[in-house]
Amino acid sequence: MTIVWLFVPALAWGILPLAIAYIGGNAKNQIFGTAIGTLITSFFVLAFNGFNISAHNFILAMLAGAFWIGGQIGQYTAYQNIGVSKTMPVSTGLQLIGTSLIGVLIFGEWSTIAARILGFIGIALLVAGVFLTAYTENKNNANQKNSRQTYLVLISTTIGYLIYNTLPKAMSASGLAIFFPESIGMVLAVLSYLLSTKSLRIVTEKKSWLNVISGLIFSIAAITYIFSVRDNGVNTAFVVGQLSVVLSTIGSMILLKEHKTKRELSATILGLIVIVTGAIITTIG
């Protein structure tokens, strides 16, 4: 099962953006359905794993789930504005850059000079990969303004992902133990978001409930990643998990028919290679 745990997270995370785009609806439909699907899965995890978490860790896990929603709203909005093939490499690259820097600044990773050199080379590659995948050949003022605004939203909402990834490191609970409270935090954050934007009607719409499938796909990725870390180690599980960006980006161009010029396609493929290479190097560091 070690190999299965290794590749299923990348497969599921790679399929998730394609499923979201195929099911449709707006970003609010999609984020609501994803949160509800995750909550449903968490009840099965709770029945299997039991309730093995302190009140302190429960609250931290809820906060992590709530911040994940913030990051995911930005990503789902970007799918609609600029497409999956442009969103996923940029979003993934930003998360990798932010997670690496947090590891260094807060958790004291890359403690040796050699590790820091490798780490910052990896970050430089990630930055280059992000710019390559964001390359657009035929620009006009309207599209350029829309893309710029979307990328700004992606950058700002990436903070949610970074907090989601960082908070579990402050807990003394296993990955499976925090899955249920994280899902509670996700649902509460989504309901708060819908309430604040006066969009509670979303909960009655068909597309919202169809997107529960997306939550189930996300849950498969998150749960199998926990098992992959256990069986394969953090570094190996993390790097292989990044292959999801390759699957989602290429899949969106083939299955969703997202158009790219030859130069844009070349830049995207090169950018994906650079991002995966950067991820490997930062992990080694």
d(CA 216, CA 155): 26
Q: If DSSP codes are grouped into helix, strand and coil, which group holds residue 135?
A: coil
Please report whether residue 259 resides in a domain.
yes
Whole-Å CA distances, 147 to 103, 144, 250, 275:
30, 5, 20, 20
If one counts every other C-beta atom within 10 angstroms of the C-beta of residue 64, the result is: 23
Give the domain extent around 28.
Answer: 8-284
Q: If DSSP codes are grouped into helix, strand and coil, which group holds residue 56?
A: helix
Query: Which among 39, 27, 127 has a CA at the least distance from the CA of 71?
Result: 27
**What sign does the dihedral 255-261-262-266 (CA atoms) show?**
negative
When divided into structural domains, the chain yields a total of 1
Q: Which two tokens stand for residue 9?
A: 């997270």
* pTM summary value: 0.90
Q: Which two tokens stand for residue 26?
A: 């707006």
Please report whether residue 133 resides in a domain.
yes
pLDDT 10s per residue in the chain (285 long)? Answer: 678 888 999 999 999 999 999 999 999 999 999 999 999 999 999 999 999 899 999 999 999 999 999 999 999 999 999 999 999 999 999 999 998 888 888 878 788 888 889 989 999 999 999 999 988 886 665 566 778 899 999 999 999 999 998 888 778 777 899 999 999 999 999 999 999 999 999 999 999 999 999 999 999 999 999 898 888 877 788 888 888 999 999 999 999 999 899 999 999 999 999 999 999 898 876
Please report whether residue 1 resides in a domain.
no
Please report whether residue 2 resides in a domain.
no
pLDDT for residue 31:
97
Q: Which two tokens stand for residue 53?
A: 């978490």
Please report whether residue 77 resides in a domain.
yes
Radius of gyration of the chain measured on its C-alpha atoms: 18
pLDDT for residue 210:
98
